[in-house]
A = this chain, B = another copy of it.
Amino acid sequence: MSETKRGFVRNTKQREVILSVLRGTDTHPTADWVYQEVRKELPNISLGTIYRNLRILVESGQALELSFSSDCSRFDGNPENHYHFACTECGNVYDIDMPVAQGLDAEAEKASGHKVMFHRLEFYGICQACGGGADGDLQ
């Protein structure tokens, strides 16, 4: 789940262009959009290279991936809005019993100018079962 280590990384024209495309937009593009864009400069690049490099950029902290922790949807029988904790180690998702901060919606609405209906909040870290206690502070 966490293959964050990579011996060393070579600089390639492809990765350079991908990163500059990513930095040059605020549209939170999909991999395919990046592909189409990069192709204008490197017509022979392949989608596989886009994916491989996006992953490298995310793992090395140069880009953010916007998606839920899991690669597939998970479902919750409790339809009321509540928060979740996802363990980055084992992938388990837990409910968090803490009050929903409604004030955040108003704050975001003022900051963005968009009509905010609700929000979703997920916490990430190491769960108790994986050795990450709330007060452990192992590292």
- By a beta-carbon cutoff of 8 Å, the part of chain A in contact with chain B is 19, 22-32, 34, 54, 57-58, 61-68, 70, 72-79, 81, 83-85, 87-88, 92-98, 101, 104-105, 107-128, 132-134, 136-138
Decide if the interface of chain A is mainly helix, strand, loop or mixed. mixed
Q: Which residues of B contact A64 (CB under 8 A)?
A: 75-79, 81
Query: Which residue of B is nearest A109, CB measured?
Result: B134
Q: Which of B27, B115, B133 contacts A126 (CB 8 A)?
A: B115
Tell whether, in the assembled complex, residue A98 and residue B111 are in contact, meaning their CB atoms are under 8 Å apart: yes
CA distance A138 to B81 in the complex (A): 23
Nearest Cβ distance between residue A118 and chain B, in whole angstroms? 6
Query: Which residue of B is nearest A21, CB measured?
Result: B77
CA distance A28 to B118 in the complex (A): 20
